[in-house]
A and B are shown apart, each in its own frame.
Chain A
Amino acid sequence: MPLTPSTTHAQASAVAGESATRAHRREKKSRLHKDDPRSPLHRTERRWALAFVAAPVLGFLLFTAYPLGYAIYASFTRWNGLGLQVFIGFDNYVQLFNDQYFHKALFNTFFYMIGIPIGLALSLLLALALNRKIPGRTVFRTIYYIPVISSLAAIAILWQWAYNGDFGLVNQVLALFGIDGPNWLASTTWAKPAIIIMAVWKGLGYSMLLYLAAIQSVPRSLYEAASLDGASAFQRFRAITLPMVRPVTFFLVVTNVIGGAQIFTEINIMTPTGGPEFSTASAVWYIWRQAFRYQQMGYATAMAVVLGLLILVITLIQFRLNRRNSFIID
Chain B
Amino acid sequence: MKKSRLIAGTVAGLLLAATAACSSGGGSGDADTLTYMFRGGDDEKAAYQAAINRFTEDTGVKVNVIVTDADQYGTKLQAAVSGKNVPDVFYVEQGSLQSYVKSGILLDITDKINEAGVDLTNIWEYGVNSYRFDGKVQGTSAGALYALPKDIGPFAMGYNRTMLEKAGIELPDEDEPWGWDHWVSVMKELTTDTDGDGEIDQWGTGLNIAWNSQGFIWSNGADFTDPTHTKVTVDTPEFAEALQFFADLTNVDKVTPNSEQAATLDTYQRFMAGQIAFFPVGPWDMSVYNELDFEYDLMPFPAGSTGKSATWLGSLGIGVSASSKNVDAAVKLAAYLSTDEDAQKTLVDANIQIPNRIDTADAWAAEEPRKPQNRQEFLDIAKDYGRAMPAAFTYNTAWYDEFYTNIQPVLDGNQTAAEYLAEVQPRMQALLDESIVASEQAG
Spell out A's residues near B (CB within 8 Å).
Answer: 44, 48, 51, 55, 58, 62, 78, 80-84, 86, 101, 164-167, 183, 185-186, 188, 272-274, 276-278, 288, 290, 292-296
Residues of B within 8 A of A290 (CB): 398
A80/B438 in contact, CB under 8 A = yes
Which one of B97-105, B288-296, B309-317 contacts A?
B97-105
Q: Closest residue to A276 on the B side, CB-wise?
A: B408
Q: CA–CA, A164 to B443, complex, Å?
A: 47
Q: CA–CA, A312 to B404, complex, Å?
A: 34
Residues of A within 8 A of B96 (CB): 295
Residues of A within 8 A of B398 (CB): 290, 293-294, 296
Task: Give the dominant DSSP class at B's interface.
Answer: helix
Closest beta carbon of chain A to B190's beta carbon, Å: 21
Closest beta carbon of chain B to A178's beta carbon, Å: 19
B99/A295 in contact, CB under 8 A = yes
B11/A51 in contact, CB under 8 A = yes
A165/B82 in contact, CB under 8 A = no
Sample of 6 more A-B contacts, CB < 8 Å, known A83-B104, A277-B406, A292-B75: A78-B441, A80-B442, A274-B405, A276-B408, A295-B96, A295-B438
A78/B263 in contact, CB under 8 A = no
Q: Closest residue to B262 on the A side, CB-wise?
A: A186
Task: Please pick, from B4, B74, B81, the residue contacting A44 in the complex, using a CB distance under 8 A.
Answer: B4
B104/A166 in contact, CB under 8 A = no
Size category of the B interface is: 35 or more
**Total residue contacts A-B, CB cutoff 8 A:** 89
Task: Please pick, from A166, A274, A293, the residue contacting B265 in the complex, using a CB distance under 8 A.
Answer: A166
B405/A278 in contact, CB under 8 A = yes
Q: CA–CA, A165 to B75, complex, Å?
A: 31
Residues of A within 8 A of B368 (CB): none
A83/B442 in contact, CB under 8 A = yes
Residues of A within 8 A of B220 (CB): none
Closest beta carbon of chain A to B57's beta carbon, Å: 35
Spell out B's residues near A (CB within 8 Å).
Answer: 4, 8, 11, 15, 19, 71, 74-75, 78, 81-82, 96, 99-100, 102-105, 259-261, 263-265, 396-398, 401, 404-406, 408-409, 438, 441-443
Residues of A within 8 A of B105 (CB): 82-83
Q: CA–CA, A293 to B261, complex, Å?
A: 29
Closest beta carbon of chain A to B87's beta carbon, Å: 14
Residues of A within 8 A of B82 (CB): 81-82
A78/B8 in contact, CB under 8 A = no
Most buried by A among B104, B398, B443: B398
Q: CA–CA, A188 to B102, complex, Å?
A: 40
- Asked whether A82 and B15 contact (CB < 8 A) given A164-B264, A166-B264, the answer is no
Q: Closest residue to B76 on the A side, CB-wise?
A: A292
Q: Closest residue to A167 on the B side, CB-wise?
A: B264
Task: Please pick, from A164, A273, A294, the residue contacting B396 in the complex, using a CB distance under 8 A.
Answer: A294
Q: Closest residue to B260 on the A side, CB-wise?
A: A183
Q: CA–CA, A62 to B260, complex, Å?
A: 50
- Asked whether A296 and B11 contact (CB < 8 A) given A164-B264, A276-B408, the answer is no
A82/B103 in contact, CB under 8 A = yes
Q: CA–CA, A108 to B346, complex, Å?
A: 48
Residues of B within 8 A of A274 (CB): 405
Q: CA–CA, A183 to B96, complex, Å?
A: 35
- Asked whether A165 and B11 contact (CB < 8 A) given A78-B438, A296-B396, the answer is no
Q: Closest residue to A58 on the B side, CB-wise?
A: B15
B264/A183 in contact, CB under 8 A = yes
- Asked whether A294 and B397 contact (CB < 8 A) given A82-B105, A165-B260, the answer is yes
Question: What 6 A-B pairs are tightest by C-beta distance, nearest first?
Answer: A83-B103, A82-B103, A186-B263, A166-B264, A165-B264, A294-B398
Closest beta carbon of chain A to B432's beta carbon, Å: 12
Q: Closest residue to A86 on the B side, CB-wise?
A: B441
**15 A-B contact pairs sorted by A residue (CB < 8 Å):** A48-B4, A55-B15, A82-B82, A83-B99, A84-B442, A165-B263, A166-B264, A167-B265, A185-B263, A186-B260, A277-B405, A277-B408, A278-B406, A288-B75, A294-B398
Q: CA–CA, A294 to B100, complex, Å?
A: 12
B78/A51 in contact, CB under 8 A = no
Q: CA–CA, A76 to B178, complex, Å?
A: 54
Q: CA–CA, A82 to B100, complex, Å?
A: 7
A293/B397 in contact, CB under 8 A = yes
- Asked whether A83 and B443 contact (CB < 8 A) given A166-B265, A167-B264, A186-B259, the answer is yes
Q: CA–CA, A86 to B15, complex, Å?
A: 35
Q: CA–CA, A290 to B402, complex, Å?
A: 12
Closest beta carbon of chain A to B8's beta carbon, Å: 7
B8/A51 in contact, CB under 8 A = yes
Q: CA–CA, A48 to B409, complex, Å?
A: 68
A80/B103 in contact, CB under 8 A = yes
Q: CA–CA, A260 to B349, complex, Å?
A: 49
Q: CA–CA, A296 to B438, complex, Å?
A: 9
Q: Closest residue to A269 on the B side, CB-wise?
A: B71
Task: Please pick, from B71, B99, B409, the residue contacting A82 in the complex, using a CB distance under 8 A.
Answer: B99
Closest beta carbon of chain B to A179's beta carbon, Å: 16
Residues of A within 8 A of B78 (CB): 81-82, 292, 295
Closest beta carbon of chain A to B122's beta carbon, Å: 33
Q: Closest residue to B96 on the A side, CB-wise?
A: A295
Residues of A within 8 A of B397 (CB): 293-294
Q: CA–CA, A278 to B427, complex, Å?
A: 15
Q: CA–CA, A84 to B102, complex, Å?
A: 9
Residues of A within 8 A of B74 (CB): 292-293
